Amino acid sequence: MAQFLDNFLEQDKENIAPLYGKADVEFVKGEGSYLFDSKGNKFLDFVAGIAVNALGYQNAGIKQAVIEQLNHFNHISNLFPNYPQIELAKALREVTGFDKVFFCNSGTEANEGCIKMARKYFNRKGETNRQKIITFVNSFHGRTYAALSATGQPALREGFGNMPGDFVHVAWNDVAALKAEVNADTCAIMFESLAAEGGVMTLSKEMVETINSLQKEFGCLVIVDEVQAGTGRLGTFLGFEKYGLNPDLVSMAKGIGGGLPLGVVLMRQAIADQLKAGDHGTTFGGNPLACAAGLSVVKQVCATGFLDNVKARSEQLKAGLKALVAKYSFAKEVRGDGLILGIALDESMPVGNVVAAARNEKLMVLSAKGNVLRMLPPLNVSEAECTEALAKLDVALAMAAK
């Protein structure tokens, strides 16, 4: 069935709340790393639904898993145990070494879950003084109130009234500022293993060491937001593994559902021990279709050689992006790690111009804060597709410079 309208963008404007700036393109189908529009144009997709389509479009394993689950039930609620949730939780525990899993539907919900569980943990232990959660400037943790309070971007909070309190933001990789904030009243330090939306920023070695030592010294919890960087995107199943962190709580979403809405909280046993039935919950969380898709994603991402491809494609793209930075004067530096990569641009070249020029060349890329071009290819992207992306980006940068 063809799925297109005569004037997508106008009909979108007419019917959908005006909360997003949308591109004027009518996608009707995806296949692997490519998207096709209603005019038959073929785009190489290095947005991947904002890191959601970890295995590209029409992945056979995900399709089969979802169809099989559709033949059982779509949903039965969290009043009853169900097979897809249990199987996915077992797989996640085995891969990550965490002890218990809570399922929800999105990144912001996973972060809300982490925040609530961290505070409840200390509350049940009688340490009611531990309220303060330290996060980072330019971080992104989601749009619901607690996750928005955690998010280090004041502009996103503007006009939305009072926020949940006791969130403090320190500058990314500012070791001294973090040390000055953490004390015996700290509930948690919360951060992304790679700050993607905020400008594709990696953690310094010194910052990792500081977080690890503060966690030991003050007994505060460490919450790592793996919503974008998790599910294999940095070449390890969870991003923090690469940097040697030891979180107590982890949030996942985006890639883990392979295109279906799925959020995950991973927790240590000590935290699960302080939770009781009714403390937190969600009607849709751990939806059986989403969990069936998630199990297929975990199996594929953890299959032999899969993460080697992520690492190899990362090296290939980094080398190609470095060459482009050397070629174009407005391109300042390559940013990122794994398959969250980007180029920081100077003020003379607004990133939006490059994103539009790339789309003209049939390459989909996106931006990040601070005038940074960002690329999030599917994790099973091929060497040839990366070569194609770099060639298209080269042309796009040249066109944008004209």
Ligand X SMILES: *Cc1c(COP(=O)(O)O)cnc(C)c1O
Residues in touch with ligand X (CB under 6 A): 106-108, 111, 140-142, 192, 196-197, 225, 227-228, 253-254
Where do we find the tokens 């494609």? 313
- Of 230 and 235, nearer to ligand X (C-beta) is 230
From the list 155, 55, 172, 138, the residue with the least C-alpha distance to 368 is 138
**What are the start-end ranges of the H helices in 77-143?**
83-96, 107-124
- Of 262 and 397, nearer to ligand X (C-beta) is 262
- Of 102 and 140, nearer to ligand X (C-beta) is 140
Cα–Cα distance between 234 and 226 in angstroms, integer?
10
- Of 192 and 361, nearer to ligand X (C-beta) is 192
- Of 320 and 342, nearer to ligand X (C-beta) is 342
Minimum gap (Å) between residue 210 Cβ and ligand X? 21
Minimum gap (Å) between residue 105 Cβ and ligand X? 8
Rounded to 5°, the CA angle 83-86-91 comes to: 125
For residue 16 the two structure tokens come to 């959908």
- Whether 192 contacts 224, CB under 8 Å: yes
| Burial per residue of 306-338, b for 16 or more beta-carbon CB atoms within 10 angstroms, e otherwise | bbebbeebbebbbebbeebbeebebbeebbbbb
For residue 51 the two structure tokens come to 């890191």
Cα–Cα distance between 163 and 166 in angstroms, integer?
9
Please state the separation of Cα 131 from the chain's center in Å: 26
- DSSP strand E in 105-203: where? 132-136, 167-170, 186-192, 194-195, 201-202
- Of 92 and 357, nearer to ligand X (C-beta) is 92
Minimum gap (Å) between residue 34 Cβ and ligand X? 23
Minimum gap (Å) between residue 263 Cβ and ligand X? 7
Q: Is the dihedral of CA 342, 345, 351, 356 positive or negative?
A: negative
- Of 195 and 363, nearer to ligand X (C-beta) is 195
Indicate the residue type of 323.
A
- Of 236 and 397, nearer to ligand X (C-beta) is 236
Minimum gap (Å) between residue 112 Cβ and ligand X? 9
Rounded to 5°, the CA angle 119-121-126 comes to: 95
Minimum gap (Å) between residue 42 Cβ and ligand X? 27
Q: What residues form DSSP beta bridges with 343?
A: 334, 373
The DSSP string of 364-389 is E-EEETTTEEEE---TT--HHHHHHH
For residue 259 the two structure tokens come to 């295109």
- Of 367 and 396, nearer to ligand X (C-beta) is 367
Minimum gap (Å) between residue 247 Cβ and ligand X? 14
Residue with smallest beta-carbon separation from ligand X: 107
- Of 59 and 106, nearer to ligand X (C-beta) is 106
Minimum gap (Å) between residue 275 Cβ and ligand X? 22
Cα–Cα distance between 345 and 342 in angstroms, integer?
9
Minimum gap (Å) between residue 6 Cβ and ligand X? 30
Minimum gap (Å) between residue 168 Cβ and ligand X? 18
Q: Which long-range contacts (CB under 8 A, 24 or more apart) does 11-20 make?
A: none
